[in-house]
């Protein structure tokens, strides 16, 4: 299926089929047994093939028959709705409060495959026009971007590459290309997983979430949206419509480090996101957040306080490590014990210290991480 997609892309936009492109296209296929070389050979030979893939249906086109909301809802009526406007979406949401919203389905569908949940009422948000745009804007007196909840990681990548390189680098570690082509920013946030990759980064960037219903919309800081394990401030009649990502100040730095058992296609054990500026020889605007250290992705407020207004000195980072060990009580699970999580989170602070204090250290650390 991965090579089918690649072949189809080749037909739409012919480009040299390099080993790097091939590796990226096959990225999510972890079971390589003994057949991997013939698969690569077959893939490379497709350049000579004259076979044409069936016509690609462009999902950016509105659905042919837009659905309107029903007059009344029956609890067990099977439903698959594909609204194309936010107004249709929120109307459906109001009439079917127990229906599940689905975007890329890369999280939701695990409820079916792992827990055999019957998902018989689904409202697909991927064709809703208002959820598909990235718009440069000013919000709360800050310049930045409103990103539609239905924007996929692949669609978000160019913005991140240009304005948040560390966030873009994280994206290459998030799932595989197939997952990034389907998975959305809204799905990652609404899923409210303690180990979702983007929330810690968005917390460090002071991002906001916009929620919409039939009456209008409200915006709240992401930190107020994530309430507890898998629990959010989303009301039964609301959808996540957009996410506001503030632009980094010229002198601000964002660093993001993800630790997982496998490099590719693996969820974080711990993820640390670090935002700061250095002004007058001290650290300012320090915002540090972690995934995998609590029931939800969370700011490390005491750790931030230990560094804010302080010069870059080993003892200050040691104080920050002590604060960090006290403010989180992570759980032990298959991805790591509580002790491991405490240790690696502290190590990330040390990494930050080394990257700030030792010239060229970051280059070495970067190379080591690969
Ligand atoms: C192989 C694989 C690897 C993965 N690797 C990673 C990884 O490395 N890091 C990571 O963070 N995640 C990973 N994931 C999880 C997943 O890809 C992400 O969380 C993704 O962002 C989910 O987005 P989605 O559009 O697929 O959401 P869906 O699965 O469609 O939905 C997820 C949840 O959000 C709700 N939802 C969706 N859209 C909205 C909306 N607009 N408003 C309100 N609620 C909404 C749904 O009802 C559901 O509860 C992986 C998944 C797979 C299958």
Q: Which residue has the CA at smallest separation from atom 41 of ligand 1?
A: 240
Q: Check pLDDT > 70 for residue 368.
A: no
Cβ-based burial of 222 (10 A; exposed 0-12, middle 13-18, buried ≥19): buried
CB hemisphere CA count around 256 (13 angstroms): 24
pLDDT at site 79: 85
Q: Using a 6 Å cutoff on CB, does residue 272 contact ligand 1?
A: no
Token pair, residue 162, equals 């240009």
pLDDT tens sequence across 334-363: 999 999 999 999 999 999 999 999 866 655
Residues 303 and 335 in one domain: yes
pLDDT at site 65: 42
pLDDT at site 370: 40
Residues 218 and 159 in one domain: yes
The SS3 assignment for 67 reads coil
Residues 222 and 298 in one domain: no
- Would 58 be classed as within a structural domain? no
Of the two residues 11 and 231, the one the predictor is more confident about is 231
pLDDT at site 30: 65
User: Which of 96, 179, 203, 225 most suits a substitution to test ligand 1, by most atoms within 8 Å of the C-beta?
Assistant: 179
Helix axes 338-357, 314-327, angle to 10 degrees: 160
Give the integer Cα–Cα distance in Å for 368 and 166: 16
- Would 101 be classed as within a structural domain? yes
Q: Using a 6 Å cutoff on CB, does residue 190 contact ligand 1?
A: yes
Give the integer Cα–Cα distance in Å for 236 and 211: 11
Residues 264 and 365 in one domain: yes
**Nearest-atom index, ligand 1, CA of 190:** 34
Residues 179 and 237 in one domain: yes
**Nearest-atom index, ligand 1, CA of 196:** 11
> Where residue 106 sits, what CATH number does that domain have?
3.30.43.10
> Where residue 363 sits, what CATH number does that domain have?
3.30.390.50
Cβ count within 10 A of residue 102: 18
Q: Do residues 261 and 341 make contact, with C-beta atoms less than 8 angstroms apart?
A: no
What is the arithmetic mean of pLDDT over 68-84?
Answer: 68
pLDDT at site 244: 98
The count of structural domains within the chain is 4
pLDDT at site 35: 75
pLDDT at site 316: 98
**CA pseudo-torsion sign 129, 131, 134, 135:** positive
pTM of the model: 0.85
The parent domain of residue 332 ranges over: 252-369
Residues 203 and 161 in one domain: yes
pLDDT tens sequence across 157-174: 999 999 999 999 999 999
**Nearest-atom index, ligand 1, CA of 28:** 1
For the chain, give the percent of residues with pLDDT over 70: 89
Domain boundary among 246, 275, 300: 246
Of the two residues 302 and 40, the one the predictor is more confident about is 302
Q: Check pLDDT > 80 for residue 207.
A: yes
Residues 206 and 154 in one domain: yes
Residues 224 and 277 in one domain: no
Task: DSSP letter for 76, please.
Answer: T
Q: Using a 6 Å cutoff on CB, does residue 105 contact ligand 1?
A: yes
DSSP-assigned letters across all residues of 267-286:
--SEEEEEEEEEETTEEEEE
> Where residue 185 sits, what CATH number does that domain have?
3.30.465.10
- Would 55 be classed as within a structural domain? no
Residues 170 and 230 in one domain: yes
Of the two residues 292 and 1, the one the predictor is more confident about is 292
- Would 141 be classed as within a structural domain? yes
Angle at the Cα of 207 from the Cα atoms of 206 and 210, rounded to 5 degrees? 145
What average pLDDT is seen over the chain?
Answer: 89
Measuring CA to CA, how many Å separate 326 from each of 36, 73, 310? 47, 49, 20
pLDDT at site 58: 40
Q: Check pLDDT > 50 for residue 27.
A: yes
Q: Using a 6 Å cutoff on CB, does residue 107 contact ligand 1?
A: yes
**Nearest-atom index, ligand 1, CA of 106:** 26
Strand partners, 239: 212
Backbone angles phi, psi at 315, to 5 degrees: -65, -30
pLDDT tens sequence across 262-306: 888 889 999 999 999 999 999 999 999 999 999 999 999 999 999
Residues 233 and 216 in one domain: yes
Distance between Cα 317 and ligand 1 center (Å): 34
Q: Check pLDDT > 50 for residue 42.
A: yes
Alpha carbon dihedral 325, 330, 333, 337, in 10-degree steps, equals: 10
Q: Using a 6 Å cutoff on CB, does residue 307 contact ligand 1?
A: no
Residues 285 and 360 in one domain: yes
Q: Which residue has the CA at smallest separation from atom 36 of ligand 1?
A: 187
Residues 118 and 189 in one domain: no
């Amino acid at each position: 299926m991965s090579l089918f997609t690649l072949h189809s892309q080749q037909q739409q936009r012919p480009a040299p089929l390099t080993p790097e492109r091939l590796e990226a296209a096959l990225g999510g296929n972890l079971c390589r047994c003994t057949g991997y070389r013939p698969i690569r050979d077959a893939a490379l030979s497709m350049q000579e093939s004259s076979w044409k893939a069936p016509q690609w249906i462009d999902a950016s086109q509105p659905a042919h028959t837009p659905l309107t909301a029903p007059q009344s809802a029956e609890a067990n009526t099977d439903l698959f709705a594909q609204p194309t406007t936010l107004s249709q979406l929120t109307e459906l949401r109001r009439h079917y409060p127990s229906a599940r919203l689905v975007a890329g389905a890369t999280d939701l569908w695990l409820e079916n495959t792992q827990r055999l949940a019957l998902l018989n009422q689904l409202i697909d948000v991927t064709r809703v026009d208002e959820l598909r745009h990235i718009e440069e804007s000013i919000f709360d007196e800050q310049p930045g971007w409103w990103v539609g909840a239905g924007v996929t990681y692949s669609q978000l990548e160019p913005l991140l590459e240009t304005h948040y390189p560390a966030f873009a680098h994280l994206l290459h570690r998030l799932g595989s290309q197939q997952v990034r082509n389907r998975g959305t920013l809204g799905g990652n946030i609404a899923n409210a997983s303690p180990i979702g990759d983007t929330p810690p980064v968005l917390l460090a960037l002071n991002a906001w979430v916009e929620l919409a219903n039939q009456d209008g919309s409200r915006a709240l800081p992401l930190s107020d949206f994530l309430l507890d394990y898998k629990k959010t401030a989303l009301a039964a009649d609301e959808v996540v419509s957009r996410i506001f990502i503030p632009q980094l100040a010229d002198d601000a730095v964002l660093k993001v480090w993800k630790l997982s058992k496998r490099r590719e296609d693996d969820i974080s054990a711990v993820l640390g996101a670090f935002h700061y500026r250095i002004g007058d020889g001290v650290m300012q605007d320090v915002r540090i957040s972690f995934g995998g250290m609590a029931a939800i992705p969370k700011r490390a407020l005491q750790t931030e306080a230990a560094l804010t207004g302080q010069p870059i000195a080993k003892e200050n980072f040691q104080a920050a490590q002590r604060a960090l060990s006290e403010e989180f009580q992570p759980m032990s699970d298959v991805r790591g014990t509580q002790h491991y999580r405490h240790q690696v989170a502290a190590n990330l602070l040390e990494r930050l210290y080394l990257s700030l204090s030792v010239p060229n250290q970051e280059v070495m650390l970067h190379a080591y991480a690969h």
